[in-house]
Amino acid sequence: MSNILKINDLEKTYTSGSKKLTVISNITFEVEQGSVFSIVGPSGSGKTTLLGLCAGLDYPTSGSIELCGTALHDLNEDERAALRNKEVGFIFQNFQLLPTLTALENVIVPLELQGEKNASKFGIALLEKVGLGDRLHHYPSQLSGGEQQRVALARAFSNKPSILFADEPTGNLDEETGEKVIQLLFELNKEAGTTLVIITHDLDLANRTQQILRLKGGKIISNEKTSAI
C-alpha cells in the first residue's frame, strides 16, 4: 500500500532573540494510505507542532514533508490552502466551529468553497449520519460539547478528505461522550476509507489504531505497529 504522508528528518526551531528553541528534531516516519495512525506523548513533546507541519499549516525549519504525493515545500500558501481544502480534514480539541454559523452552515462552507452545487443536501446527509438531523439550524452555542464535536466530525468528512488529522478529539469531552465520538469517528473513517492521524494522550485510544508514534522531548522514541485491525 502506498504512503499518503512521508516525513523525512523534520526539524522545527523557534527563535526568540538570540535564543533558539528546537521543538522537534530528527522526525522521520510514513503513514500508509487508509491506515489509522496515532501520535502519543506527554504535553510539550511536540505533537501538535508535528500535526501542524504534517498538514501544511506551518513551515519546518528543515526536512521534507510529502502529503498526498505532493512535496509541501514546493507549494505557496494558496496552493497549500487548495491542497488542504481538497485532501485534508481537521478535528480539533476545541471544535473550532464558526460561532455565527449554524451546524449545517459550518458543515457546508468547505463544500461551497469547492464549488459543490449540492452542498446543503450533502451537509444534511452528513449531519443525519452523526445523529444531528434535528439540530441542523442550531448555533454552536446551542449545542453540547459532544454535539459540537459531532458537527466538527461532519465538517471534517464533508470534503471527502484523503487524510484526516484529529488533535485530541476527545480532550474536551467526558469519557462516555468521548467514546461515542471516537466510535463515530472510526465508523465514518471506515466508511470513507480515509487515512486517520490522531493525536492523543489516551493510550487506550492509541491502542485501537494500527500504528503508534511515541514522542518525547521533540524526538521519536518509538514507532510501532499494533495488533489493531
**The only residue of 26, 94, 100, 183 in contact with other proteins, by rule CB under 8 A:** 100
| Rounded-to-integer distance, Cα 110 and Cα 81, Å | 11
Q: Which of residues 158-177 bind other proteins (CB under 8 A)?
A: none
Is residue 228 near other proteins by the rule CB under 8 A? no
In terms of CB distance, is 105 or 202 closer to other proteins?
A: 105
Which region, judged by CB under 8 A, interacts with other proteins, from 13-21, 23-31, 52-60, 111-119?
Answer: 111-119
Is residue 77 near other proteins by the rule CB under 8 A? no
Question: What string of DSSP letters covers 11-67?
Answer: EEEEEETTEEEEEEEEEEEEEETT-EEEEE--TTSSHHHHHHHHTTSS--SEEEEEE
Is residue 222 near other proteins by the rule CB under 8 A? no
Is residue 64 near other proteins by the rule CB under 8 A? no
Which region, judged by CB under 8 A, interacts with other proteins, from 57-65, 96-104, 124-132, 220-228?
Answer: 96-104
Binding mask 113-152 for other proteins (x = CB under 8 A): xxx-----------------------x-------------
**The only residue of 30, 32, 66, 112 in contact with other proteins, by rule CB under 8 A:** 112
| Rounded-to-integer distance, Cα 12 and Cα 21, Å | 9
Beta bridge partners of 51: none
Residues in contact with other proteins, counted by CB under 8 A, come to a total of 18
Beta bridge partners of 213: 39, 223
Is residue 72 near other proteins by the rule CB under 8 A? no
Instruction: For Cα atoms 215, 194, 110, give the angle at the middle one, nearest 5 degrees.
Output: 100
Burial of residue 212, with CB atoms counted within 10 A of its CB: 0-12 exposed, 13-18 middle, 19 or more buried:
buried
Burial of residue 144, with CB atoms counted within 10 A of its CB: 0-12 exposed, 13-18 middle, 19 or more buried:
exposed
Residues that bind other proteins (CB under 8 A): 70, 75, 79, 82-83, 85-86, 99-102, 105, 109, 112-115, 139
